[in-house]
Structure 1
C-alpha cells in the first residue's frame, strides 16, 4: 500500500437517529455526508460546539454506531467488508478511543495495571504474562508517568484527573495503535494541566508514529496541537484545511464565530455577539439550505434554498459557504 494512501477516510459518512417512536417519521441528522481524511503521523482537530456531531463521528469511527449510509475506509479497506471477530479486534486495536471523562473511564475496583494488562491480553495475544507487565510499564512511562511500577499499583481514586487521562492514553498506546480517537480528552481537566495532555499527544505522534483525531470545542487548543482543522456545524463539515490557514483566514462565518471567543489579536472578529445567542441548528428532518443560516449575519436567499458543499477557496483550504465561495470567485475573476 502506498504511503500516500490516507490512513483513514470517510466517504459521505451519514448517521441519523429515529426519535419520537417508530411511527413519528422524525429523524435527527447527527452526521450528514461527511468526507474526512487522516494521514499517517498526523493530528487532525475536529472542532465544533456541543451537538454539532463531533462525538457521533468518533463513535462511528470506533464502530460503536453503524453508519446510516456512507463508508469508512481504513488503510484502503472498507470497514463494511470486515468479517469475523479477529478482524474486528484488529481494527479496534489499530483505532482505540480515549474518552472525555477520566473519572469514568477506569474501573475503581481494580488497580491501574489491570485495565492495561487486560487490554494487552485481549489484543496482543503473543505476549507472555511477564511481557505484558513489561509493556504496561513502557506505555505508562511513554505518557509521562513515573515511576511506572508505582503508578501501575495504584487504584484510580489515588490518581488526579490528569493522571487518569494519561492512563487512558497509555491503555490506547498498549495496543500499538495507528490512530487514536481522542474525544474531548482535556475538557474536564483544569486549565493548568491541559497543556501537558496536549504535549502527550504531540510526543506520541513523534515517538510512536501515532495519528490522532482530536475532538474539541476549544479552537485555541486545536491551534496548539493540530496539523489540520475541520470545523463542524449541525452535522456538516463547514470548513477544513491547514490549521494556520483556517485560524488566520477563516472563510466560514461559523469559524469566525468560534474564533471571536478566542483572546488572540490575530483572530478576526467579524461575527457579533447577537449571532452567538441565536437558535441552535435545526437537525430534525432538516430542510435544504445552510444549517447556519438562521445565525449568520451574511445569509442570503440562496442560503435558505440550497445546501452549500465544500469548495477549495485557498490552497488545501475548503469551506461550505455560498457567500465565501462567491467572494473568492469574484476576487479571482
Structure 2
C-alpha cells in the first residue's frame, strides 16, 4: 500500500468510528395500564430501561421466552406503540422529531416489519402483486409508472428466492406454502429499500425443515442488499445460526448481550444458561429437571426492585431481592450481563455487601 493510500484510509476509519449507529434506543420503556376501570393505577412493565444499538449491515437477535418483551420492543421501533419513557434514534435523529406524513412514511419505508404469521399477513382476496405494488406506489416515488413498479416487484420477489417472479406475482396466497408466503413478507419489506427490517418471530410458525431457508434469506439480504435486521425469536439455536450479536430479554429487561458466539459459548446470566439448556439434544431423552424451568414467569405488574429472575435463579443472593441489576461489562469485548453474582463491578460489589 502506498503512503498516500495508507494516509487516506485513516480519515475513513475515523469517520466510520464517529458515525452514529443505524438505530439506537436510550433507556426505552413501555408500560401498559391494566385492570378494570378508568381509575386503575396498575401498570404492566412490558419493556423497562432498554438501551441497544443496531449497526449498518448487522443482524441482531433479540431472544427470550413468551412475555419477555421482545414483540413490544419491535412495535416500539415500528412506532405502533409510543414509549412511556426513553428515546429511539434512527441515524442519529430522535423519532420524537419526526413531524408530518412525509417524515413518517420515510421512516416506515426505512424500517419495515415482517410479521410472525405468514397466513394472516397477506390478504387472501388479492394476488401477491397487490400488496407489493401498493407499497411501491406509497413508498417509492422514484418509480414513476406502473411498468417500473412491476419490474421492481419482480426483482424483490426473485431476491427472496421465488422464481419466476412475474409468475409468483400472479398467484393468490392460498396457492403458496407457508414458507413462500413468509418470503413474500420479506419481499414486501425489501421493496421499500429498507435500511433495517424488524423480523418478529418470522420462522416460528413454519416447519422446521424450511426454517433454514428463511434464515438464509435474511443472511443473503444483508450481504446483497445491505439491510440490517432485528431478528426476534425464542429459538436461541436459530439466533446462533444467523446473528452477529444477541440480546437476551427477561421480564422486560435485557439481561445479557454481546457477540453471538461469545454469549452462547460463555453465558454469564443464569437465564441465558437456562435457554441453552432448553435446546433439545437429539441424543438425549426429552426431560427437563431444573427448578428454574418449572418456576412461574416473572411478575411485571408494578414490579418491586430486584432481579426479576430471582425466583427461578439457583445462584440468587440477598441483593437479588433488593437491587435491580444493570448491565455490566464482562471480560470479553462488548459482552455484558445484568447479574449480581456473575457480573463484575458495582452490582457484584453490592451483592457481596448485602450477603
TM-score, normalised to structure 2, is: 0.89
Q: Which residue of 2 aligns with 1:274?
A: 291
Indicate the residue corresponding to 2:113 in structure 1. Answer: 97
Show the 5 A alignment for 1:19-38: 19-20=34-35, 21-38=37-54
Match of 2:55 in 1: 39
Give the greater-gyration-radius structure (CA). 2
What SS is found at the alignment partner of 1:324? coil
Aligned with 1:309: secondary structure? coil
Q: For the residues of structure 2 that align with 1:2 and 1:11, how far apart are their CA atoms?
A: 23
Q: Say if 2:320 is the partner of 1:320.
A: no
Q: Is it true that 1:14 corresponds to 2:26 in the alignment? A: no
Match of 1:129 in 2: 146
TM superposition shift of 1:46: 0.1
Give the alignment of 1:1-333 within 5 angstroms.
2-3=15-16, 4-20=19-35, 21-127=37-143, 128-263=145-280, 273-314=290-331, 315-326=333-344
CA distance in 1, matches of 2:330, 2:142: 49
- Can you list the C-alpha shifts for 1:240-263, whole angstroms capped at 9, x where unaligned? 000000000000000000000124
Partner Cα separation in structure 2 for residue 7 and residue 264 of structure 1: 37
| Total equivalences in the alignment | 325
- 1:266-315: CA deviation from partner (whole Å, max 9, x where unpaired): xxxxx952210101101000000000000001111100000000001121
Separation of aligned partners in 2, 1:264 and 1:131: 50
Is the contact between residue 329 and residue 344 of structure 2 (CA under 8 Å) also seen in structure 1?
no
1:126 Cα shift? 2.6
Check conservation: 2:45, 2:301, Cα contact below 8 A.
yes
Contiguous gaps of at least 5 residues in structure 1: 266-270
Aligned-partner Cα distance in 2 for 1:177–1:129: 21
Q: RMSD of the TM alignment (CA)?
A: 1.7
Q: Which whole-Å CA distance do the structure 2 matches of 1:61 and 1:275 have between them? A: 31
- Shift >2 Å, 4+ stretches: 1-4, 326-330
Residue of structure 1 in register with 2:5 after alignment: none
- How does the TM-score come out when normalised to structure 1? 0.95
